[in-house]
């Protein structure tokens, strides 16, 4: 054979050796995902899977919305053993506090028209090496934060970590990767200050942003605490953006005002060449059974299967619509984790009575469980750019 032919054979041989080496390192598929947003998180996804369990490369193009789909049974779930996770607070530790029906752990979120990558904790930590990830918000952020910690701890055997607690935040550092996962508690994203008249929500002030803007990944959340009424609400007055001080106001409008201030802060202060910003959308509570075909007095108690789309409305709430509108007006790309529909179908995933505080909870979620999907979606979004 001629020299040119031998050169071609040599190149093919070397490429083949490279693929054999690459595939021998892991049977886990690698994904590249390209996103374009059309309206509300409508995603055009290109998924390329290499060394898919030893099979030849697969290319698949599809359009889908990650946040519209259904829950399907998956025998490979859960992704980790929650009894082995050291990070779960007594409020979220359903199995520890007596939950024996564990079917809720076996459901995987399946978007219509595309596949999500399986969570790979080692890959996540490699991609985030040397970076700081911060969850900013209320107890739903805590729910999400502890889920990610359990996913990383449970899918990376022997991973080393250390915990630090300050009055402002909780930090867990995965030491071999120098990855910090941080929780910053902020119910409203805007500030609350003590003044002579009492505790005042400052609708025009985001002083904690001086801390937030130094992170590499930010996942914000707000809404739940606007539903709190006296004596449980953590403020006495609201100072509106025009300086007017009021005793109270429409809570949806208050949420909108605070979120607009936060959005302006994002536009003004966040360096998007260094920081990726996500907003963790509203999640469903299940206290009124008449919403899904039961009696009004029914709640999430004794519900052990996801709901079908045909028995509950999946129309966006006013809060979700406000969130989408404000995010669409930010000049920089903030990714909405639109959790409304997928959480609305999971009446079975709540804490119920299985917690260490002895109260019924149809707002928050068992860990492991539904919040693991929130972090799977976060992982899929991060795969686009890292």
Strand, helix or coil at 304? coil
Beta strand pairing call for 198-202 and 361-365: unpaired
- pLDDT attached to residue 377: 97
Mean of the pLDDT values across residues 240-264? 97
DSSP letters for 111-168: ETTS-PPPP-HHHHHHHTTT-EEEEEESHHHHHHHHHHHHHHHHHSTT--EEEEE-SS
Mean of the pLDDT values across residues 239-254? 96
Structure tokens at 186: 């902020």
What is the C-alpha separation between 110 and 25, in angstroms, rounded?
28
What percentage of the chain exceeds 70 in pLDDT?
A: 83
Per-residue model confidence as pLDDT tens digits over 326-366: 999 999 889 999 999 999 999 999 999 999 997 899 999 99
């Amino acid at each position: 054979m001629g020299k040119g032919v031998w050169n071609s054979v040599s190149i093919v041989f070397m490429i083949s050796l490279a693929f054999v080496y690459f595939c021998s390192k892991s049977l886990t598929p690698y994904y590249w995902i390209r996103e374009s947003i059309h309206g509300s998180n409508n995603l055009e996804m290109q998924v390329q899977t290499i060394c898919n369990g030893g099979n030849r490369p697969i290319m698949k193009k599809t359009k889908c919305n990650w946040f519209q789909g259904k829950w399907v049974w998956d025998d490979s779930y859960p992704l980790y053993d929650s009894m082995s996770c050291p990070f779960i607070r007594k409020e979220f530790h359903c199995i520890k506090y007596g939950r024996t029906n564990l079917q809720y752990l076996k459901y995987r979120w399946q978007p219509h028209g595309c596949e999500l990558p399986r969570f790979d904790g080692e890959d996540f930590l490699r991609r985030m090496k040397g970076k700081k990830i911060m969850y900013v918000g209320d107890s739903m952020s805590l729910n999400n934060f502890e889920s990610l910690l359990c996913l990383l701890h449970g899918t990376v055997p022997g991973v080393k970590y250390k915990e630090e607690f300050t009055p402002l935040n909780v930090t867990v550092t995965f030491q071999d990767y120098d990855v910090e996962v941080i929780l910053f508690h902020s119910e409203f994203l805007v500030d609350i200050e003590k003044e002579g008249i009492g505790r005042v929500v400052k609708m025009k002030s985001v002083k904690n942003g001086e801390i937030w803007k130094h992170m590499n990944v930010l996942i914000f959340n707000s809404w739940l605490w606007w539903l709190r009424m006296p004596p449980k609400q953590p403020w006495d007055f609201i100072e509106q953006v025009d300086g007017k001080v009021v005793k109270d106001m429409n809570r949806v409008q208050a949420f909108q005002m605070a979120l607009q201030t936060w959005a302006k802060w994002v536009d003004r202060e966040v360096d998007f060449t260094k920081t990726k910003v996500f907003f963790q959308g509203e999640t469903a509570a299940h206290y009124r059974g008449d919403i899904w075909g039961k009696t009004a007095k029914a709640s999430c108690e004794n519900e052990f299967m996801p709901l079908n789309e045909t028995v509950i409305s999946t129309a966006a709430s006013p809060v979700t619509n406000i969130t989408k509108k404000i995010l669409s007006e930010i000049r920089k790309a903030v990714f909405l984790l639109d959790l409304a529909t997928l959480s609305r179908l999971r009446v079975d995933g709540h804490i119920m009575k299985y917690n260490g505080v002895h109260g019924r909870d149809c707002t928050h979620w068992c860990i492991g469980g539904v919040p693991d999907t929130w972090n799977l979606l976060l992982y899929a979004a991060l795969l686009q750019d890292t």
